[in-house]
């Protein structure tokens, strides 16, 4: 993908502060961190988002993300780590190259992830769960 910013980082065309690299995966600091040590884990091959990424590559990304999470937790003495993936612009995805956010968290960092006041009507949750189950079995 020629105009993909992460492909450019992977090709070395634009700089990034790299923390991890293997044959399939690259990880580097997010340029605009939620907290210092916020890392992006990306496949070297371009896919639009997680849902378009082959399973075997997802496994490698998640395992790298876990390893990196453990390391960054030590280095910045994080109290928690958010692991997040935005898929689609409605979900907040801005860069359309699969990436896992590894975000160090502190109880006093003031960052609010999400909250909800939505509730299911009586029976609605069960019906929806059933539909999803059926879709999974298709």
Closest CA to 69 of 115, 101, 21: 101
Q: What's the sign of the alpha-carbon dihedral 51, 54, 55, 61? A: negative
Minimum CB distance to ligand 5GP, residue 52 (Å): 14
Is residue 92 within the footprint of ligand 5GP (CB under 6 A)? yes
In terms of DSSP bridges, do strands 100-105 and 25-29 run parallel, antiparallel, or are they unpaired?
unpaired
Restricting to residues 51-110, name those near Zn ion by CB under 5 A: 97
Could you confirm whether 99 is annotated as catalytic?
Answer: yes
35 binds, among ligand 5GP, Zn ion, none (CB under 5 to 8 A by kind): none
Is residue 5 within the footprint of ligand 5GP (CB under 6 A)? yes
Is residue 93 within the footprint of ligand 5GP (CB under 6 A)? yes
The tokens for 3 are: 């105009």
Residue 104 phi/psi, 5-degree rounding, is -65, 140
For ligand 5GP, the closer of residues 5 and 57 by Cβ is 5
Residues noted as catalytic:
99
């Amino acid at each position: 993908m020629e105009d993909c910013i992460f492909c450019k980082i992977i090709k070395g065309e634009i700089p990034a502060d790299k923390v991890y690299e293997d044959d399939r995966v690259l990880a580097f600091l997010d340029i605009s961190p939620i907290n210092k040590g916020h890392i992006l884990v990306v496949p070297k091959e371009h896919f639009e988002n997680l849902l378009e990424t082959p399973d075997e590559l997802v496994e490698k990304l998640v395992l790298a993300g876990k390893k990196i999470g453990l390391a960054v937790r030590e280095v910045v003495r994080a109290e928690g780590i958010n692991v997040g993936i935005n898929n689609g612009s409605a979900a907040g995805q801005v860069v359309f190259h699969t990436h896992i956010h590894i975000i160090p968290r502190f109880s006093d960092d003031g960052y609010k992830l999400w909250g909800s006041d939505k509730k299911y009507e009586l029976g609605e949750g069960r019906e929806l769960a059933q539909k999803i189950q059926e879709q999974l079995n298709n």
